[in-house]
Amino acid sequence: MNRRPMIVMVLASMATLLVACMPAMDPPASGATASGPTVDESPILASVAGGGYRHNARFVAVNGAAYPSAVAAQSSINVWVTAADYASYTRISPDQTGSGASLAPGAMIVREVLDAAGAVGKLTLMVKGPPGYNPAVGDFWFGVTEPDGTPVVDNGATQMGKVSECFGCHIPRAGDGFLFGVAPAHRAAPGSTPPPMSGGADGGVAPADMGAPDVCGDFICSASESCDSCPTDCHCCGNGNRHGHTGGCDGNEQ
């Protein structure tokens, strides 16, 4: 008697029973994988490409003038934060602890690290991820980019995500949302003139020395763009004035 067909039938029946008894598994939620929540890096990098954060109404400058870096000699810092998180962020001061402040998921902090000549050498970024993304440091995503927003690669590793080198400094600041903030003496009032780029004033059209690409949709009204060719970047009011982002018109403009 050939037992092989019978054994195959028995094994197939057992497999069917096992599958029927297993609980149904929901697919990962949007922005999550089997290993946990994730952070979409594409819009983060898009917001800093070519200095776009300087022209986007979503961001506000925290300081009025560059101030000395506490960790890098001969360097100074400018800080930008998402406008919706300005109030929470400015509750935090580097020389005090225990503010109890905490930023909401999606909050973003952009730090310009300037060299001794005042030119932007790199950007360091922090974005508050979804709950559970990075519990060790308040669910923050970290990034380091070139001034134009290109991610920095160090020893073959792109400096974005759960950058462990950043943990040591931020873990002791758990009582302040894992952040250092900006000292009150260096802060500027919301809506004040942003700190200028090296080499001159920063107007509604991106300065040539920023190296900003002429990309429609980056919220920078570059010299080659116009109200007609890229209304998203070059919002124009009734008198033809160009604006560097999609904000409203000024007082007497229509």
Burial class of residue 17 in the structure, from the number of CB atoms within 10 Å of its CB (0-12 exposed, 13-18 middle, 19+ buried): exposed
Q: 111-156 pLDDT, tens per residue?
A: 999 999 999 999 999 999 999 999 999 999 999 999 999 999 988 8
DSSP bridge pairs for 243: 235
The correct CATH number of 35-186 out of 1.10.3470, 3.50.70, 1.10.10, 3.30.70 is 3.50.70
Domain residue limits, the chain: 35-186, 214-249
Q: Angle CA(95)–CA(86)–CA(174) in degrees, nearest 5?
A: 45
Q: Which range is least confidently modeled, 2-11, 59-68, 109-118, 136-145?
A: 2-11
Q: How far is CA 129 from CA 12, 30, 63, in A?
A: 45, 13, 24
Q: 19-36 pLDDT, tens per residue?
A: 343 334 333 344 566 578
DSSP bridge pairs for 61: 80
